[in-house]
Structure 1
């Protein structure tokens, strides 16, 4: 049994989509997407923030290997991670917003706490 959701996509497309969603979340502080995508994105965003809290060079390179924009990595290490210094996990919040018009997919906002 898989420990992740396949989201109806080939693995390469799924990985890139989750990288893009994580980058957008860290860049803007909030994204609106479907509930299943948000739950998968949440895992990666929390891992990136935990790595950034370490603050060393190896952690920075690990985050750079996943996040697609260098400016976002700089923002993550300089602005976002210090805000969560005293917090052990739970850096993001899911707020359900109701069904999407068109296909009635359940939507939510994923935001940094």
Structure 2
């Protein structure tokens, strides 16, 4: 007989378990919180957060995926309009599990699973914006650094080639070949300088646009 890989089975069969979790998710989205046993709350949490992720996408395919689990169209509408809007600034952690005293009778551990609807604090929002700006700045700096390194390499190679051409000219050995190499490398250096100037100009434009926003 197959055994479940994610803990003990909550019902008599896998189909019954899926139906039970779907009903619990429907109640959670409808009322905002439900009280159940701790194992059921832990099994419900990943399913509920996955459905909220689909709701945040908001497209037709995501709605159809949610409708496979949540058959109540009113609850699906609430999920895609109200709950998804409340969770827009969050990247995860849409639910919270709080343990409560054990159930009378069988002493089963109980818990309350609820939606985290509190808005992010101003400090957390500022930190997220700062992290995003830092990532963009780091990418721009990396691009500028790569361009500068390439330009320096080409410029150094051009200088070496000029020196070799002068030395060859003095010694009278393979003058034409050395001159052609020097000319080619000088052209590459000029192209690298132009590329570096374009990158710096683009970075300045992006920085001005970011300041304007």
TM range, smaller chain: over 0.9
CA distance in 2 between counterparts of 1:5 and 1:93 reads 22
Q: Considering only aligned residues, what root-mean-square deviation do their CA atoms show, in Å?
A: 1.2
Number of equivalenced pairs: 113
The equivalent residue for 2:20 is 17
Gaps of 5+ in 1: none
Q: Deviations over 1:59-91 (max 9, x none)?
A: 011101111201000000010001111111100
Which structure carries more helix by proportion? 2
Q: Which runs of 5+ in 2 are unaligned?
A: 117-213
- Give the Cα–Cα distance (whole angstroms) in 2 for the partners of residues 58 and 4 of structure 1: 30
Aligned to 2:108: 105
Give the direction of change, closer, same or farther, for the CA distance of 1:23–1:100 in structure 2 (3 Å limit). same
With CA pairs under 8 Å and 6+ residues apart, which has the higher RCO, 1 or 2?
Answer: 1
Radius of gyration: which is bigger? 2
- Deviating beyond 6 angstroms after TM superposition, the runs of 4 or more aligned structure 1 residues are none
Structure (1 or 2) with the greater strand fraction: 1
Task: Please report the TM-score for the alignment, with normalisation by the length of structure 1.
Answer: 0.95
- Alignment pair present for 1:50 and 2:35: no
Contact conserved, 1:97 with 1:107, CA < 8 A, in 2? yes
Q: Among residues 82, 94, 97, which one is paired with 1:94 in the alignment?
A: 97
TM-score (ref. length: structure 2): 0.51
Alignment match, 2:43: 40
1:84 aligns with 2:87: yes
